[in-house]
Chains A and B, each alone.
Chain A
């Protein structure tokens, strides 16, 4: 803003230009670095995105005539990657069978099966002597296996029932002939005495232990002996027939062509091989939601409750907020600031904290609410209410907690709207001699509703997807029994979807979850369109402002 022409040039061009150039150079260097990684990993899609993105950014900041884009691009980049792309990607995922065991490409699946080795448990193998080492600091164990020729393996054992460990062998080679067994090169480990090894054998059966070696397995035979068994490749992919051949079971497995088996190899005897790959299955996820009664039933139940929950929440919070706002809105009322500050507190506390606290308050056995109500229960001879575990009372709990969370917002809204009703109308009302109640019913309330309606729609939309409340308070529970998918009586669509995508025990069903997300997208869109039309109509009534 200086008038000096020389400094002006420096300010608006010189420094800014060099700064921009330096930033672009750093960005390009980073992009190049990332590029090398992506090429090495063979991640084609990400590679393409990176090239397009970087080119775009370079164009924006180096081409002289891109004024507005220079300001928009930084935000645009993040919004594109983490909002726009995910929306479209959700559409794609909903058309695939992506779930636990069907996440990779077909090539990766074939690689997985071909790399799978087979160890014959009864094979002879070569015998080795065994000694046990331990690290006193961490309590970890290592086994050293060696034979007369001086060949040795040093590595970490695992239980046979556990999944294989990569790099379990930490050291291997040959001793110089005729030397004593040297201590392992790994620092911290010491040889255990025979007595200690016997002690260890009391807590773990050595015959259950194996060590994964690069070319097979080391089977532990007892306290002092082990056996190295070579592994062989079991599955071979035949590209001509597009089939996976099982060399041990002597059968061939081809990609399934039914909906349920798409993306997996199915063997001649009907066995379906997991894992498979992510396959395109068209609209089948949607069809499943609509036609499979064990999914449709829960879905409709969740859908109904979701609407009811959002609607009741808006009605209840608005009711309480409005009553309070009207009660306090009187020219003789004192202490308004005080009340307002108190009512703001439930609203100010991060919701997840208060929800967790409410969960404790409502705990049927130890919670203070049932403790407080205990005399009442005794008096009328009633069993304590199972707040969070009975289907009906869980719903009541959800609504009460959400009332607590939400009434301050409605109170603030209603107070603001009440105060915005102009003062000079007061005089007119008095002259016309209407009673307070009638004026309220016929004029103040409709006027309030017009002012609040768009915000009420917003509140409805927010609560429609109020994941935190449901997930943290009841986790959707109590569970609905006999459904094909994990679902509970207080589940709303988003918590239902979340549990589909990440339910423990039943695996992640991303495809189905994405399909249900699309239903939520649709509903959100409808609510927004409704809100939009509504405000537009108001504009028509009152004119464009």
Chain B
């Protein structure tokens, strides 16, 4: 999940910017003309200047949307098999959607369960993760204590290794925990949530700390003069100011966990506990072509809310992601 030190990356971006200002006297001719009204172009000129750009863009749009349109149309296709899937189905129906939400139907029921599991695990792990990371970030950002530098360095070092790389060890640990406490061990959603909870804390602490550092300390100072303790400052000043950043980090964490596959596949073993990623993978291994319609329906239902969130909060999420977090 973690790429590398976001702080540094932000600095590098800034470095590139200033580099441009200091050293560069040249620029690419096409970039951002002065803000004035441009006279309309003659058609031939339009083709030469803008038209081909649209052409390339439209080709890219087709590449980007082809699988998406295909899967959406498959979900409405009356025929269920892979070989009958087309961009424009012969016969449109809502049957597979109705099936999806029908708990009586044993054929589709696991999909709804898997989707529910994915949501429960990702939302609870992401929420707790951001909360714990925010607390730790607050301490690193505001307190001066012995071991602070070492702590930050250790955090930096730990978050270099993606958690899933240690899946063998995590599996063996969870087997041991499960032997004594079956409720939180192997093959439980709680167990998976706990594992996820540990995963991105280091990286998120870094991201949030970077943001909290940009909140001026004079605000805390004046609150302290008014008699506020660290808890009050955290809850009443820092958190409200950090809310947009926390929201973005929450969304990114959520999406990462929603798509997490390796650990979920390692730790979950019974059908009713699968997350969507695990369930769909095993399902497609067993029964690919025949239930293509159901697969596409669950893909549309699962991806829909996330894609919408992305489109609505585009700017914020993109700035968060390009700031160093890598989406899985």
Which residues of A are interface residues toward B (Cβ below 8 A)? 1-3, 5, 8, 11-13, 16, 34, 37-38, 41, 43, 45-46, 67-72, 74-76, 78-87, 89-90, 93, 98, 103, 320, 323-324, 326-335, 339-354, 356-361, 363, 365-368, 404, 408-409, 412-413, 416-423, 425-426, 428-430, 432, 434-436, 439-440, 442-444, 447, 450-451, 453-455, 457-459, 461-462, 465, 467-468, 471-472, 494, 497-498, 501-502, 510, 513-514, 517, 520-521, 524-525, 528, 531-532, 535, 538-539, 541-543, 545
Contact = CB atoms under 8 A, between A and B. Distances in A.
B183 to A, nearest CB: 11
A331 B32 contact: yes
Interface in B132-179: 132-133, 135-136, 138-140, 143, 145, 148, 151, 158, 160-173, 175-177, 179
Interface stretch (B94-102, B104-112, B239-247, B257-265): B257-265
Closest 4 CB pairs of A and B: A82-B198, A12-B229, A425-B27, A458-B3
B201 A79 contact: yes
Size class of B's contact patch? 35 or more
A426 B31 contact: yes
A72 B151 contact: yes
Contact of A472 (B8, B179, B281): B281
Contacts of A497: 168
A513 B169 CA distance: 10
- Of B14, B29, B81, B296, chain A has the most CB atoms within 10 Å of the CB of B29
Contacts of B56: 323-324, 327
Contact of B259 (A67, A340, A350, A520): A350
B288 to A, nearest CB: 7
Interface in B63-101: 63-65, 67-68, 70-71, 81-83, 85-87
Contacts of B284: 356, 359-360
B135 A74 contact: yes
B314 interface: yes
Contacts of A425: 20, 24-27
A45 B71 CA distance: 50
B223 interface: yes
B53 A420 contact: no
B328 A11 contact: no
Contacts of A542: 15-16, 18-19, 22
A540 to B, nearest CB: 10
Nearest to B83: A366
A520 B165 CA distance: 8
A425 B328 CA distance: 37
B307 interface: yes
Given A74-B132, A430-B29, A517-B166, A450 B19 contact: yes
B179 A432 contact: no
A89 B41 CA distance: 67
Contact of A422 (B20, B151, B164): B20
A429 B326 contact: no
Contacts of B83: 365-366
Nearest to A84: B158
A346 B50 CA distance: 25
Contacts of A454: 4, 8-9, 12
B38 to A, nearest CB: 6
Interface of B: 3-5, 8-9, 11-22, 24-34, 38, 41, 49-50, 53-54, 56-57, 60-61, 63-65, 67-68, 70-71, 81-83, 85-87, 132-133, 135-136, 138-140, 143, 145, 148, 151, 158, 160-173, 175-177, 179-181, 194-195, 197-199, 201-202, 205, 223, 226-232, 234, 236, 255, 258-259, 261-262, 266, 276-277, 280-281, 284, 288-289, 292, 295-296, 299, 302-303, 306-307, 309-311, 314, 318, 321-322, 324, 326-328
B173 A85 contact: yes
B50 A440 contact: no
Contacts of B22: 542
> Which secondary structure characterizes the binding site on chain B?
helix
A517 B12 CA distance: 31
Q: Which residue, A71, A85, A103, A329, has most C-beta atoms of chain B within 10 A?
A: A71
A451 B13 contact: yes
Nearest to A87: B166
B311 A348 contact: yes
Given A89-B172, A350-B258, A524 B165 contact: yes
A443 B231 CA distance: 50
20 contacts: A71-B230, A87-B169, A89-B172, A90-B169, A93-B169, A341-B311, A343-B64, A350-B277, A351-B259, A352-B276, A353-B299, A357-B295, A360-B292, A363-B288, A450-B12, A457-B4, A501-B266, A524-B160, A524-B162, A532-B4
Given A1-B232, A356-B299, A447-B20, A344 B173 contact: no
A3 to B, nearest CB: 6
A423 B32 contact: yes
Contacts of A344: 310-311, 314, 318
A41 to B, nearest CB: 5
B28 A324 contact: no
Contacts of A409: 321-322, 327
A467 B261 contact: yes
Given A11-B229, A356-B295, A545-B14, A348 B30 contact: no
